[in-house]
Structure 1
């Protein structure tokens, strides 16, 4: 008998506030229960994120070391070759990853030879039997269709923060720009990966507002990354305090409850977490991590494959295989 509750897209801010601010142990227990109703609690999806074009971005995202206007130690790297990317994808698959994500530090996709090369990368990674994800900046509907036809499974475009706080973090594109790209991805039939970052100086109300926007989309994002700010020297937010792990647990648990069918991804910030802290995040409903042989998440430090496999083994967890898209009417 199927006892899953129906998915909701009509949450009120007050409802999410009550969930978010509930006593922590009660919140985690509720989230863990929802997680078991919708997912196999013994599986964690291993995803690999590769920067295929690094640095030199014209945007002014206050947290990002790849913005050209900030003086960081990140080296600009031109778009990688197709074969180089496919070699990374093969290694990722051999290491247990079922999802391979390619990121380019672009403001927006342009219809040129670089985009043609990305299309060929998507085809090649798809042929390897991996879920293919891209994050390339703003995207038109026509460009999204090209990516879908090439075999793209998911497109990442994070909201980053609430609509109300957004202009404090980024001025070179609007919150509506982000929503428009997500809508274009949906229209093309690609699954959506969209979440945000905590530790930007936002309030609890901002975090709740961001989750409200995601949870009330016509269809929940299939993937919801929850990132802790990775403080990059040379960026405006480099002196922000480290995000408290209990804040991450609270965000993950709330996301799991209001978007139960989504993959909730424990993303940036894991390098500063102990095994115990990561285990709490898994108990709260996170069921995906980013890993890789380079031990970086784009341009910031991240645990490596062997470390992550040891963690999963300690906790009695196992890597998830490639999934078929889950459709919920």
Structure 2
């Protein structure tokens, strides 16, 4: 392994931020990812401690405001209408008053950010989008941050969401450009990048990450991080997900990844995107306490809290309470819904 490549993150910089780079190469990121594990975690922890309080972990919740029936064919997703063997109840868009009421409940429990997800391919004008805008306005009126994931959108949709006060928009890359067509064929990688550019042009923060364990190569993982780490600026939030195989989906047969693969991905994301919030997301329910703690040491500083992430299982609330109690972290509460 070329030690010069591995040390590269210490060199080139963005003005005012010596270790923030926008010019990572796939080869450099892959070299970092493949460092001996103790060296990798040590380096990631050093970067994390420089830019974040290592004793603070944000808890975030995600509410499905419209479940199932999505026309996309994402191979991992139980909400796709293409995967008819999946046992999933399809629900219409929730009433805005109910959503805002749940947001108020979350705020009373200490929540700062309220995340809402709709199983749509794209945003369309009409009463449903009007209702989502009303939800965003209601959440912001409560004094909370608001985040949504709604699929692709056009500039006038982003403009309305920005005017409503939207804090962040989630739109994951999922995987590398090279592997993407193995997972999704109903929209292109360019569609995703165009959505991200549109969102950012209206001053809305990006929440953008991906999934490992879908059959991709290590180079694919590095390539996905390359796309994220060459964005200017880096996404404010980077969710790192491990595939949760769901029976009835094309990837339902896959064996869950070794937890140390998730540790490596978290650590590499932290090194190449030092100031982003790295979120330990789907797949956490399969990690024992020690593996989760190792991810936090490696640079994750947010977890999704609650027994469900949209439609897939998450860690139990009691388990999370025990985890945070064991590490003695100062938790930034964004309570579960």
Tell me which residue corresponds to 1:31: 44
Aligned mates of 1:14, 1:278 — CA distance in 2: 28
What do residues 244-270 of structure 1 show as CA deviations (whole Å, max 9, x unaligned)? 110000000000000000000000011
Instruction: State the match for 1:326 in structure 2.
Output: none
1:45 aligns with 2:74: no
Q: How do 1:113-192 and structure 2 match up within 5 A?
A: 113-192=127-206
Query: Is 1:56 paired with 2:95?
Result: no
Contact preservation (8 Å) 1:45, 1:97? no
Alignment match of 2:323 (pick from 306, 311, 326): 311
Q: CA deviation at 1:130?
A: 1.9
1:68 aligns with 2:81: yes
Alignment partners' CA distance in 2, 1:242 and 1:129: 39
Shift of 1:276: 0.7
Residues 1:269 and 2:269 are matched in the alignment:
no
Unaligned runs of 5+ in 2: 1-15
Displacement, 1:17?
A: 1.5
Deviations 1:154-191 (A, max 9, x none): 00000000000000000000000000000000001000
- C-alpha RMSD of the superposition: 1.4
Shift of 1:88: 2.1
For residues 30 and 213 of structure 2, the distance between their equivalents in structure 1, rounded to whole angstroms, comes to: 18
Rounded to whole Å, the distance in 2 between the matches of 1:124 and 1:134 is 13
Residues matched between the structures, number: 318
- Offset of residue 89 of structure 1: 1.6
Partner residue of 2:225 out of 211, 223, 227: 211
For the Cα contact (< 8 Å) 1:46–1:98, is it kept in 2?
no
Structure 2 Cα separation of the partners of residues 34 and 54 of structure 1:
38
| Distance across 2 between alignment mates of 1:86 and 1:154 | 17
User: 1:152 touches 1:190 (CA, 8 Å); kept in 2?
Assistant: yes
Deviation at 1:4, TM superposition (A): 5.7
- Secondary structure of the equivalent of 2:61? strand
SS of alignment partner, residue 122 of structure 1: helix
Aligned counterpart, 2:13? none
Supply the distance in 1 between the matched residues of 2:310 and 2:236 (Cα, whole angstroms): 21
Contact 1:55 1:76 in 2 (8 A): yes
User: Does the 8 A contact of 2:19 with 2:274 survive in 1?
Assistant: no
Query: Quick one: distance in 2 between partners of 1:171 and 1:274?
Result: 34
Q: Distance in 2 between matches of 1:94 and 1:308?
A: 19
Once residues 6 and 28 of structure 1 are traced to their aligned partners in structure 2, the CA distance between those partners, rounded to angstroms, is 17
1:15 is displaced (CA, Å) by 1.4
SS of residue matched to 1:264 = strand
Flag structure 1 segments of 5+ consecutive residues without an equivalent: 323-329
Match of 2:311 in 1: 299
Cα deviation per residue 1:246-302 (whole Å; 9 max; x = unaligned)? 00000000000000000000000111111111001000000011113xx11000111
Q: TM-score, normalised by structure 2?
A: 0.92
- Note if contact 2:79-2:88 (Cα within 8 Å) is conserved in structure 1: yes
The alignment status of 1:14 with 2:30, answered yes or no, reads no
Q: Tell me how far 1:6 sits from its aligned partner.
A: 4.0
1:255–1:42 CA distance, 2 compared to 1 (3 A): same
Bigger shift: 13-22 or 180-189?
A: 13-22
TM-score (norm 1): 0.94
Structure 2 residue aligned with 1:325? none
Tell me the equivalent position of 1:327: none
Q: Distance in 2 between matches of 1:252 and 1:95?
A: 28
